Each structure stands twice: as C-alpha cells, then as structure tokens.
Structure 1
Amino acid sequence: MKTNQNITEFKQKALHWANQFDVCCFLDSNQYKDPYSAYDFIIAADIQTELKCDSGNAFAQLKEFQTVNKQWLFGFLGYDLKNEIEDLQSNNNDHLNFPELYFFVPKYLIAVKEDRIEVLIGNESILNEILDYNPELKTEANSLTINQKLSKNQYIEKVESLKNHIIRGDIYEVNFCQEFFSEHAEINPVQTFEFLNKVSPTPFAGYFKAYNHYILSATPERFLCKRGSKLISQPIKGTARRSEDLGEDEEIKIRLRNDVKEQAENVMIVDLVRHDLTKSAVKGSVKVDELFGIYTFPQVHQMISTISCTLNPDVHFIDAIKNAFPMGSMTGAPKVKAMQLIEEYEATKRGIYSGSFGCINPNGNFDFNVVIRSILYNADNKYLSFQVGGAITYQCDAEKEYEECLLKASAILKVLGS
C-alpha cells in the first residue's frame, strides 16, 4: 500500500509494536543508497517456527531448516561457528551467552521501499494495529558505568606481541579486539537502539531481539549478500575521524584514500575475501568491483572495497555463507592462524560480536551484515557489552590503534551516557 503516513513515525511505531513479541528483527538502511538493498527497512515479528543451535553441525541444520521452510528467515550467526568450519576452540569468558546460531520464520513481516509499505507476511490489518500503537516512551537517558577488559598498557603490550608474530611470518594481519562492558546494566533496549540509530545512522543497522538477548547495531559493514546468482561482499578496512570543519574533513578523506598503510590493510582483506568467494564461485567469475572506496558516516570515514562473483549452481547458498565465514575483515590473514591468535590474545569470547545477522528471502536471496559498532545485552543477567578493534599490521602504531578503538566506540559511549 502507498501511504501518506510519516514514514519516520511509522518506523518508530512499528519497531515498538514488534518489540512486544518475544522475538523480532528490524533491519534499517537509513536511506543510504545501496544498489543491492531490497528494502529501505524491514520488520519481522513473532515466530511461526525457529532454529537454535551451537557449533557442531549448525550450518547443516540451517540448510535443513531452510529446505523445510522456504519462506522468509531472519537470524544471526555467532563468530564461534568458526569452530565447526576449522579445527579451532573458544575458551574465553562469555557473560552474554547468545546461542551461536538462531533463525526464525516470522508471523508478521512488513517492508518499506520508497515510502511504500507492504505487508509480506500477515494480514493488512496489522498496519492499523501499528498506527494505533502508542508505546510508553521513557525519556530518561542511560547512565552506565563502562569498564574495559584491557587497560591501555595491556592493549599496547598485546599489539606489540602480535606484531612479533608478523615479524616471524606467522601472519600478515590480524583483527584484534577489546571489550567494553557494564554489569548490572538496566537499559530499555528498543529506545537505546533508537538513540544509537539517531547518533550513528548506518546502512546495515539493525535491532534483533531473541527472548532476553538483544543486538543493537549501528554497523556500516555488509558481510555477504546474494542477488540472483551474484554474491557480493563489502569488507571495511581503513578508518579516519570526521571533522566539523568542512575543508579539514575533505582533507582527512583524501588522506585516508591515499594512505599506504590503510590501503595495504584493505588489499590484504580483499585478497582473503576473493579466496573465500572462490570456494563458491563459477570459475573465473570473482572480481573486485571497487577498490579503496571512501564512504562517510557520522563518526568516521571508512575505506570499503566491493568483491563479487557468480555463485556456482552446484553450491548451496548456505554453503556459500559458510565458505566465507567468519568474514575476513574481522579475522586476518592467513585466516586460520589469525583466528588462533585472536583466541590467544583476546580476553573475551566474541560470541555474536563479529558474527552476522540478516535475512534470507523465499527465493534464496539474502543479506547479512557484520556485527560491529553494536551493543549486545543479556537482559537475564543484565550484562551489557560492546567490542571494538582494528587491523594489526607490521606498520601499525599501537598507540594510534588504541585511539582508533576509542573513535569507533565514541557513538556507543555517547548513547550509554558514559
């Protein structure tokens, strides 16, 4: 249906309406023009059926679930599914306790494209229910005490140790992350997400509620998308701050575009993604559509490359997801050794952080983001967490990497009142 309804108001009401159910997922492009996005935003609520499992044979279970339910599926994939893909382990502390894989078929599904609201699953009457829905909006701001798992000195020592692995030739690059957390945290998840999405609107933002587990995401990164027979991945490597001075801001963008260190980080991950896509591609079809593209977001400029291929018709699309998982931008190169060092040097189990969430449509097209710049919350034990990290290379400066972490954390710290 075409509507004169204020779309911003409809979006808010629909999100609050969806949040009354045990499970819901909201994916928002925030009006970024992206040639691969099917909708401006989409909201899935309540469950017809669901799949929840940990690593072991999770991808096989997802494939079976999709075969039985050739419908819209929404879900998330935790980083630690790496353990069923490679001979790896995850033994670090985990206070969030998300399932490693969770998918559901929604009872209600509403999509919006260019101000046209469409009910994809459910009765049109739910639109009136949403328009009449008046959520209780609490106005008090968050004010949480945020702690860091690593001190600045510990972070720098670990970065220097990882650089020694590079010097020895163990790896070329590794994505090293640190956790910020709050215990006994009480937040209103949906309103906290709305504030985050306002402070830091990004093209792959989303809100995922699975019972008492919440993902509040302002991620700018796409992991993998399928449109027809085409697979597209858009890894981010390269970050620079914004400036309120327009001239200086433009200079910062140009410096990022021409920064040899940032280009080296980016091209290593492009090569890794090309390798991952080759496992699922028609021979000779993998190509780099854009190298070192500079994209601007409210807090940062980012260097983003786009790699695509034609999916081999003999490869199931869920195997294509598995073949590229976890995403190269959040691991490093060579991938398996980088993941071993991540396990050794990081202090926290990644869980859903640096995993992915998104949707699969009835035709097998899909779109999944990268869970970064995201608040993760367990409402049962009131543990709130977010992680930030960056690429460690031979040329990197540990002090500058630490500053980049704080830059990436800035929007979330603002939202949490810290």
Structure 2
Amino acid sequence: MKVQDLDSFKEKALQWASLFDVCCCYDSNNYPDSYGEFDFLLAVGVSESINLKYGAAFDTLKEFYDARRCWMFGLLSYELKNEVEQLSSKNSDNLNFPDLFFFVPQYLITVIKGEVKIVLGDESALNQIEGFNSNEPEIHSDIAIQSKLSKELYIKTVKELQGHIIRGDIYEINFCQEFFAEHAHINPLNIYTKLKKVSPTPFSGFFKINDQYILSASPERFLCKRGNKLISQPIKGTARRSSNIKEDELIKLNLQNDAKEQAENVMIVDLVRNDLTKSAVKGSVMVEELFGIYGFAQVYQMISTVTCQLDPEVHFIDAIKNAFPMGSMTGAPKIKAMELIEEYEFSCRGAYSGTFGYITPDGDFDFNVIIRSILYQSLSKYLSFQVGGAITYASNAAAEYEECMLKASAIIQTLEN
C-alpha cells in the first residue's frame, strides 16, 4: 500500500516493533544508492535465532542459513576477528553484545519508493502500526558523557602508534576511543529518532536484542551482494561541513585533492581488494570508483567502491568471513593492525566496528559498518559510543583528535537534553 506520510509511518512502525524482544530496522534515509534495494526494512519478532560466541560462528551461521534459505537479520561483532585470525580480546566490555546474533523474523515490512509491503507476517500488523501515536517521550535524565582517555593521552598514544609505522610494523591503523555514560536513563527509540534527524545517513538502523540496543547513523557499507557481484565501499577521508555555501564547496574540493586523505583511502582500497580476491572469480576484482566525495549533515567523506564477481565455489557467508573485519576499521597490514588495536585501545570494541544487516532467501545481503552509533544496555543503563580515525605516518595527532570530536558531534548533539 502507499502511505501519505512515510516519516510518520516509519516512526509508528518502530514504536510497534520495539514492543517485541527483538527487532531490526535498516533505513536509507532516501540517499541515492545504486546498490540499495530497499528504502526501509523492518524485521520484527523471532521465529528462530542463533546467539554465538566466536569459535565456529561463521560455519554455524552457514549451516543455519542453508537449512532455511529465508530472510535473516543479524549482527557480526568485531570480536569475531578472534575466529578469523589467531587473535584475542582482553579490554573491558561493559555492553557484552553477542559475537554473532541472527534471527528469522516473524514480521518483515519493506518500503520501496513509498510503497509499503508486508513480506512476512499478518497484514493486521499495519492496523496495529496505524494505531500508534508517533510522538515518543523525551529523555528524562541528563547524560554525563565521559571519555576513556584524555586529549593528552590520545595524542601520546597516536605518537606511539606512529612509532610502529616508522619501524615498519604497519603503515596505517584505525585507532578508536570510547565515550560513555553510566546511569543513562534514555528512551532508545526516541534517541534513535533524534539521531536520524540530526544525522540522516544511508546505512542507519535500529537494532534491539532484548536489553541491548544499537542506534546507528552509519554512513558506510561494509559488504553487499547483488546476484553474483560483491560490493564494498570503504570510507577513509573526512572533512567538516560549513553552513557557508562557498566555504563548503572549497572544503569539498580540498578533501578531493588532499594527498594525505587519498593516501589513507588507497591503502584501505588495496586491503579491500586483497580481501575480495579470496572470494572472487580470478581477475574480476576492480575499483569502480576511487576517492568519491559524498556529503552528509556534519561531514564530507571520501568513499571508494571495490567490486568483484563471487566465485561460484565460495559460499557467500565465507565471502563475508574473508572480508571481516572491514579494512576501514582495522588498518594495514590487517592482522598486525588488529594486534596493535587490542594493545593500544582502552575498550573492547564489541558490536562497534562490527556490522549488522540482512540476508535474503536468494542469498543476497547488505551489511553496514557500525560507526557513528550509540550502543546501550538498558538493564545496567550503560551507554557507549566510539569514534576513531586512520593513523598514518603523515597524521597530525592533534588534528586526528579534532576529527574524532567532529565524528562524535552528531551523537553528542543528540544526547544533549
């Protein structure tokens, strides 16, 4: 059916969905995307699910999918790196998201070009949705945001990481820091709705797993499959936006021609090309777009598009595993970068810099990168968001800190009462 006010429908649908123990929403916010098939996806309720620790999680997911070949939505935590490679996790984790969680929904609602469709479940769901008031209650408490490390310690750590670059251990690393709040009493759906308005992005989403929530304004696609084609779109390169039109255009032009940002981007493009080669028909890996500049509410981003043809001998879930974790959130060489991330970061990443998305009955899929996202544990009232950036030999530590604060700005603005 067609709806007159799509934004109101989506808000009501999410209110209805959040009454269930598990739901997952994917919202493109009407960004143009040549590989996106849905403007809005909402999976609600659990018919079946798997909740796994790393070890044999990818193989179990493969068996789970092959036995059903149906719609599935799920989360792959960054900690699955310990399954993909001989790595470990030792940093503190106050959220404890599953390493892998996938579910077959009871209801699935899609929106394509304003047309709402019930793919799974009873159409009476639409009547239930229409009965909701689209105004969610506001936040009731002030949120005291803290950081795990000071600006001075951040700068010191970046310089230590650059020492590893000088020694030749790595040539790029994504170093992240956690901001957190304890005793944070929030309405997760209200916060997500507010975050979407402050920072609408093409891979945003709301994921509730019982008492755990991911409220995401992600601008980045990790990996997508359409037919036998795999698409990865790593982001590396960030610049602030300006309300002055002429200055904004100049900022965009400067980012496009910034040799340092291009160097960061091309390093990760090479890493992604290498990751896709493990799953590709020989000779099919190609860079469809290099250094594309895309505008979002707070920032311009440099985004490249790498594609390949999936080898018919490779299961698509193995293709996801072969590219995981995403290079844009690790660095290069990948394994050494992940070892140093564990050594130098102060928090367990968990769901942050992992991915969530969907798999179709035909074996197509689309997964984002969990960045620019709030993670929340409603029982302990612990709220967390992490931000990071690529550290290279040419990086200025103070400037990297300011870039982190720029990336955090939409979330901080959202959480202000």
- The TM tier, using the shorter chain, reads over 0.9
Q: Offset of 1:140 from its aligned partner?
A: 4.3
Could you tell me how far apart the structure 1 residues matched to 2:8 and 2:413 are? 24
Q: Could you say which residue in structure 2 is the equivalent of 1:28?
A: 27
- Aligned: 1:199 with 2:198: yes
Aligned CA distance change for structure 1 residues 140 and 185 (closer, same or farther; 3 Å): closer
Q: Could you say which residue in structure 1 is the equivalent of 2:106?
A: 107
Segments of structure 2 that go 5 or more residues without pairing to the other structure are none
Q: Is the 8 A contact 1:142 1:416 kept in 2?
A: no
Structure 1 residues 5-404: aligned runs within 5 Å: 5-134=4-133, 137-140=136-139, 143-404=142-403
How many residues of Structure 1 are paired with residues of Structure 2 in the alignment? 417
Could you tell me how far apart the structure 2 residues matched to 1:328 and 1:353 are? 14
Report the residue type matching 2:414 in the other structure.
Answer: V
Question: What are the Cα deviations for residues 365-407 of structure 1, in whole angstroms up to 9, with x where unaligned?
Answer: 0000000000000111111100000000000000000000000
Could you tell me how far apart the structure 2 residues matched to 1:171 and 1:236 are? 19
Question: What are the Cα deviations for residues 99-157 of structure 1, in whole angstroms up to 9, with x where unaligned?
Answer: 11000000000000011111100122211111122366213466300000001111001
Report the residue type matching 1:49 in the other structure.
Answer: E
Q: Is the 8 A contact 1:17 1:135 kept in 2?
A: no
Could you tell me how far apart the structure 1 residues matched to 2:184 and 2:128 are? 32
Could you tell me how far apart the structure 1 residues matched to 2:87 and 2:220 are? 25
TM-score (norm 2): 0.99
Could you tell me how far apart the structure 2 residues matched to 1:307 and 1:140 are? 41
Could you tell me how far apart the structure 2 residues matched to 1:69 and 1:53 are? 18
Question: What are the Cα deviations for residues 179-206 of structure 1, in whole angstroms up to 9, with x where unaligned?
Answer: 0000111110001000000100000000
Q: Is the 8 A contact 2:294 2:300 kept in 1?
A: yes
- Other structure's SS at 1:139 match: coil
- Other structure's SS at 2:218 match: coil
Q: Which runs of 4+ in 1 moved over 4 A?
A: none
Q: Could you say which residue in structure 2 is the equivalent of 1:411?
A: 410
Question: What are the Cα deviations for residues 309-363 of structure 1, in whole angstroms up to 9, with x where unaligned?
Answer: 0000000000000000000000000000000000000000000000000000000
Please report the RMSD computed on the Cα atoms of aligned residues, expressed in angstroms.
1.0
Q: Offset of 1:46 from its aligned partner?
A: 0.4
Identity among equivalent positions (%) equals: 63
- Other structure's SS at 1:46 match: strand
Could you tell me how far apart the structure 1 residues matched to 2:139 and 2:319 are? 44
- Other structure's SS at 1:218 match: strand
Could you tell me how far apart the structure 1 residues matched to 2:326 and 2:297 are? 24
Question: What are the Cα deviations for residues 157-186 of structure 1, in whole angstroms up to 9, with x where unaligned?
Answer: 100000000000000000000000001111
Could you tell me how far apart the structure 1 residues matched to 2:310 and 2:40 are? 26
Could you tell me how far apart the structure 2 residues matched to 1:390 and 1:330 are? 8
Report the residue type matching 2:374 in the other structure.
Answer: I
Report the residue type matching 1:64 in the other structure.
Answer: E
Could you tell me how far apart the structure 2 residues matched to 1:210 and 1:274 are? 33
Q: Is the 8 A contact 1:142 1:415 kept in 2?
A: no
Q: Offset of 1:4 from its aligned partner?
A: 3.9
Could you tell me how far apart the structure 2 residues matched to 1:329 and 1:106 are? 30
Aligned CA distance change for structure 1 residues 171 and 34 (closer, same or farther; 3 Å): same
Q: Is the 8 A contact 2:75 2:356 kept in 1?
A: yes
- Other structure's SS at 2:351 match: coil
Report the residue type matching 1:76 in the other structure.
Answer: L
Q: Is the 8 A contact 1:100 1:351 kept in 2?
A: yes
Report the residue type matching 1:261 in the other structure.
Answer: K
Segments of structure 1 that go 5 or more residues without pairing to the other structure are none
Report the residue type matching 1:51 in the other structure.
Answer: I
Could you tell me how far apart the structure 1 residues matched to 2:78 and 2:260 are? 27
Could you tell me how far apart the structure 2 residues matched to 1:168 and 1:88 are? 22
Q: Is the 8 A contact 2:42 2:108 kept in 1?
A: yes
Question: What are the Cα deviations for residues 5-35 of structure 1, in whole angstroms up to 9, with x where unaligned?
Answer: 3111111110111000000001000000101
Could you tell me how far apart the structure 1 residues matched to 2:132 and 2:269 are? 46
TM-score (norm 1): 0.99
Q: Is the 8 A contact 1:376 1:384 kept in 2?
A: yes
Q: Is the 8 A contact 1:141 1:417 kept in 2?
A: no
Could you tell me how far apart the structure 1 residues matched to 2:3 and 2:331 are? 47
Question: What are the Cα deviations for residues 237-258 of structure 1, in whole angstroms up to 9, with x where unaligned?
Answer: 0000000000000000000000
